[in-house]
Structure 1
Amino acid sequence: MSKTSTDDARSYRIQIAGTPDGGDRVPDLTPREASERWLSKLRVSKAESTVSSYEYRLKHLIEWCEDQGITEINELTGWDIESFETHRREQGLSPLSLNKELGTLKNFLEYCSRVELVDESLPEKVDPPDVPRDDHVDETQLHADDAEALLEYYRNNTDDRVRYSRDHALLALAWYTGARLGGLRSLDVNDYNAEEEYVQFTHNPDQDTPLKNGRDGERIVGLPSHVCDILDGYIAKERHEVFDDYGREPLLASQLGRVSKNALRTWMYLATVPCLHSDCPHGNERPTCEFVDYSQASKCPSSRSPHQVRTGSITWQLNRGVPPQVVADRVNTSVRVIKRHYDQPTKLEEMRERRQDHLDSLDFDDEGGEGE
């Protein structure tokens, strides 16, 4: 065929535009567009708080790409990822924060690879730094001795306004269930069964009371009788008789209805200040201490958040000999997560556990020993 004939043939070729349905027709998404698509997909199966944490971690990469002029996600290279990691290190990010951020980036790129937005080898080029196990653990918790002192202060108080107070009900529920803040906030009066002595956690996302693990977070948790006595008194004497916006009766109620998460967190800080049961460990006098003010309680070095109460509760339950799987079911997590994040026995507690199970074997008088 002559050159002229070849040119004529080429002139009749039709160029087909790309379409967003895979293969050679994958769209040219910006990093921001790709991340929004991934996060939208996650919202189907994950709690909004989890998705929000992923969004926060990923936004640093998105902003960095925009600063670097990377306009399409398929332009990302291994060198870009290395440069971004160096950039974040230079900003003083802790190893643990960098580990979480790069782990989220890796998950995002695995999604992009799966839908063919990036090369399949790109996710493997993300290398989160190794972090010592202890760095993953927040050792700040409400320790069992402090929890016992606080609960005794409330329980033995001769003033019913204290004994059956909202703060006592909140702390007792949190300590004996190990529930998350969102779970405590979700409880209604009819979720508490005084006769059978339990509370029931129910996922109601359409009524502003979602559970972290959705339907998988629904469960019934038994309560000791003395905790039920407190809840009975609280409901009868101190609970505000109010409804929320959906006609439900929140168990832990403010004067206006269901308490917000921030307010519930503040209630817990107020319920756990140590000067309720003993002298202030920080040298302050309660009448003049700024930390007993509603807006300042979180600043007290010894007050504790709902998560720190949950951490202490889980550790205490384990140390009391409750099997890890039973604890995991009660607090709605996995045994693996408990071992990694929540099981924080002290060296003395670890020794006592080992002593309980194995000390009898360490005796020469036993079979196999020297004998008399």
Structure 2
Amino acid sequence: MNATPPHEAKNRYLKDKSTDVTDSTLANYKTTLNIFCDQLIERGINDLNTLTSDEIQRFKEWRLDCVKPITLKTDMTCIKDFIRFCEHVNAVPDGLHMMVRIPKPSREEEVSSDMLTREEATQILGHLQKHEYASLRHVIFAVLWKTGMRRSSLYALDIDDLDAGPKPHLKVRHRPNTGTPLKNKRKGERDVRIDRETVEVIEDYLEWNHSGGVDEQGRMPLLMTSHGKRCEPSTIQRNIYTATRPCHYTAECPMDRSIEGCEATSYNTASKCPGSVGPHALRRGYVTESLNAGQPRDVTADRVDMTIEVLDKHYDHATKSEKMERREEHLMDI
């Protein structure tokens, strides 16, 4: 076998995967493998031909001190696939990938508990309606909460994807050639109904606060920065962290912090607030509250583009009491 530096193999692997996965997934692979390869080099492994299962296990043990078990599972799954590729290009000993042990987190460790409730969302929407009406933040929050769509789906929307007709909806489309792929590609395409109130917020935003023009791809994004560029997913995320920070919409801190001296009160540091949540918490909240309201599971799953199995495991955070209430109307006295 020829000598193969870790980062050289990593680059070949990422190039090979680039046609099979989305850009965001590829970026996650790159982050994980950069950490893995840097650790190997730090431990004196500059040639993958000398890589052993013991070194991989040592990385796993080191990584567990830094991340949650569910993150470690994702990391080690990526590394196992990377090692399998390295076998294919004759860079590591045959069969080494079978020695990579994938951790098995408990259900409690595997499922995130971050979820925005209907009460919290209603309070935030009230604040936005009164103090930040038709702002970029208002549109971002309203669409994510009312539809349960992914951040990447919101990012992909153009102005022309808004149909404000008698049955208003947003057209979610897979456009990888112009920079906005969907997670599930063509299978993720769908039309998503929205209520008239959300349409009015979007239309007023487009009229008063949208910067206009086109992006680098010649498209007219629904969400644009003041500099005339499509809002990046990170911008969407920072706006959600800001909107859900309790002191932002209640003017009070439930953690009894001094608002004036708190490090989390700026736009770029809102994620440091223990009470703020990211876009996925809105998605979980939408799924849970929709099911509690009686919306069928298959309808909810189709609307948010996920399988019922994933919905049940990761997104339905109803309490036992709420689940009992859901079953109530279907029970028969026998």
What is aligned with 1:136?
A: 110
- Alpha-carbon distance change, 357 to 279 in structure 1, aligned in 2, over 3 angstroms: farther
- The aligned amino acid for 2:304 is V
Pairing 1:319–2:292 present = yes
| Higher CA-based Rg | 1
Of residues 201-210 and 99-108 in structure 1, the stretch that sits farther from structure 2 once superposed is: 201-210
What is aligned with 2:15?
A: 40
Pairing 1:213–2:184 present = yes
Deviations 1:313-357 (Å, cap 9, x if unpaired)?
A: 222223333333333332233333322322222333233234444
Q: How does 1:142-291 map to 2 (within 5 A)?
A: 142-155=116-129, 157=130, 162-195=132-165, 196-257=167-228, 258-275=230-247, 278=250, 280-282=252-254, 283=256
Percent pairwise identity: 31
- Alpha-carbon distance change, 170 to 62 in structure 1, aligned in 2, over 3 angstroms: closer
- Alpha-carbon distance change, 60 to 237 in structure 1, aligned in 2, over 3 angstroms: closer
SS in 2 for 1:220: strand
Pairing 1:334–2:304 present = no
Q: How does 1:4-153 map to 2 (within 5 A)?
A: 28-89=3-64, 91=65, 93-114=67-88, 117-153=91-127
Distance in 2 (CA, whole Å) between partners of 1:198 and 1:110 is 44
Distance in 1 (CA, whole Å) between partners of 2:175 and 2:194 is 22
- The aligned amino acid for 1:326 is V
* Root-mean-square deviation over aligned CA pairs: 3.2
Structure 1: runs of 5 or more not aligned? 1-25, 361-365, 368-372
- Contact 2:188–2:305 (8 Å) recurs in 1: yes
SS in 2 for 1:221: strand
Structure 2: runs of 5 or more not aligned? none
SS in 2 for 1:253: coil
- Contact 2:3–2:48 (8 Å) recurs in 1: yes
SS in 1 for 2:170: strand
Please state how far the C-alpha of 1:290 moved relative to its aligned partner. Answer: 7.3
- Contact 1:78–1:125 (8 Å) recurs in 2: yes
- Contact 2:115–2:285 (8 Å) recurs in 1: yes
Count matched residues: 331
Of the candidates 310, 313, 326, which is equivalent to residue 283 of structure 2?
310
Distance in 2 (CA, whole Å) between partners of 1:131 and 1:179 is 27
Distance in 2 (CA, whole Å) between partners of 1:286 and 1:83 is 43
SS in 1 for 2:283: helix
What is aligned with 2:319?
A: 346
Distance in 1 (CA, whole Å) between partners of 2:150 and 2:233 is 11
Please state how far the C-alpha of 1:223 moved relative to its aligned partner. Answer: 1.2
Please state how far the C-alpha of 1:175 moved relative to its aligned partner. Answer: 1.0
Distance in 2 (CA, whole Å) between partners of 1:285 and 1:78 is 50
- Contact 1:270–1:297 (8 Å) recurs in 2: yes
Distance in 1 (CA, whole Å) between partners of 2:162 and 2:2 is 52
Of residues 114-123 and 277-286 in structure 1, the stretch that sits farther from structure 2 once superposed is: 277-286
TM-score scaled by structure 1? 0.76
- The aligned amino acid for 1:235 is L
- Contact 1:242–1:256 (8 Å) recurs in 2: no
Distance in 2 (CA, whole Å) between partners of 1:309 and 1:88 is 29
Deviations 1:207-266 (Å, cap 9, x if unpaired)?
A: 443333344433221112332233233333443334323443222222222223333322
